[in-house]
Amino acid sequence: MIRVLLADDQALVRTGFRMILENAPGMQVVAEAADGSTAVEMVGQSRPDIVLMDVRMPELDGIEATRRIRRQPEAPRVLMLTTFDLDEYVYAALRAGASGFLLKDTLAGDLLSAIQAVTCGNAIVAPSVTRRLIERFIGTGREIPRHCAADLEVLTEREREVLQLIARGLSNTEIAAHLFLSEGTVKTHVSRILSKLGLRDRVQAVVMAYECGLVHIGESSIHVQPTSPRRS
């Protein structure tokens, strides 16, 4: 049973999500919160597996609430809820530890799939939405942070290549086919990348890849920096 906490200041939104979850097998809404402070408090009391967190809430916004929740021992995963075109804080939320984000008009089936995926330790990185997010908050003209060179030095050349493909939104299976590797080898590379860079999940890996200039956004598509063939 996946235990879910709903955090949104709009009662109607919480009611809609509750109806969807309560009619789904294996899902249980264990608590609701109308603001960020209450959400942080309820996590300690109800011990959910995942929090559906609104970005904009009174008293404490979803970003800071996410940051505080993720600092707790055995912290639940957090999925941000946003209208995207209005909310300018999603990027910060991913940096705070969220495992992804959903639009509030997402279909019921997609919502349930996202919850199941994140609970299993995956991250929600929709390539089309991620592209819009990165274009808006990072952009191609942004100065590369000074820490990037030192951080990326810990990666092997193959791991850099895998990180670039993660940032394009490719799954492990797709990366394996692209690089002519086994899926098990790709999983090992991904695990090492996250460990070496101190990242929580693939979402933060995507953010870092864009921040550090490993991936650039063209006028109509994402382009990966060209690399020469390398050994695994």
Q: Which residues does 142 contact at the CB level (< 8 Å), separation at least 6?
A: 211
Q: Say yes or no: 6 and 116 in one domain.
A: yes
pLDDT of residue 14: 94
Query: What's the structural domain count of the chain?
Result: 2
Residues 141 and 64: their CA atoms lie apart, in Å, by 28
Residue 59 included in any domain: yes
Residue 229 included in any domain: no
Task: Identify the residue with better confidence: 182 or 100.
Answer: 182
Q: Which of 73, 90, 124 is the last residue of a domain?
A: 124
Residue 232 included in any domain: no
Q: Say yes or no: 13 and 120 in one domain.
A: yes
The three-state secondary structure class of 94 is helix
The three-state secondary structure class of 126 is coil
Q: Say yes or no: 111 and 171 in one domain.
A: no
The three-state secondary structure class of 40 is helix
Q: Say yes or no: 82 and 178 in one domain.
A: no
Confidence of residue 88 (pLDDT cuts 50, 70, 90): low
Strand 215-217 with 50-54, pairing:
unpaired
pLDDT of residue 114: 84
Q: Give pLDDT tens digits for 155-169.
A: 999 999 999 888 877
Q: Which domain holds residue 48?
A: 2-124
Q: What is the mean pLDDT of residues 92-117?
A: 83
We report the CATH number of the domain holding residue 195 as 3.40.50.2300
Strand 50-54 with 77-82, pairing:
parallel
Q: Give pLDDT tens digits for 177-228.
A: 999 999 999 999 999 999 999 887 777 788 788 778 887 654 333 334 333 3
pLDDT of residue 125: 54
Q: What is the mean pLDDT of residues 3-27?
A: 94
Task: Identify the residue with better confidence: 178 or 83.
Answer: 178
pLDDT winner (highest mean) among 68-72, 78-82, 121-125:
68-72
pLDDT of residue 129: 55
Q: Confirm if 50 and 1 have CB atoms less than 8 A apart.
A: no
Residues 78 and 99: their CA atoms lie apart, in Å, by 6
pLDDT of residue 219: 32
Q: How many CB atoms are closer than 10 A to CB 102? A: 20
Q: Give pLDDT tens digits for 126-159.
A: 555 555 666 665 555 556 667 787 788 999 999 9
Query: What percent of the chain has pLDDT above 90?
Result: 44
The pair phi, psi for residue 33, each rounded to 5°, is -140, 140
Q: Say yes or no: 119 and 10 in one domain.
A: yes
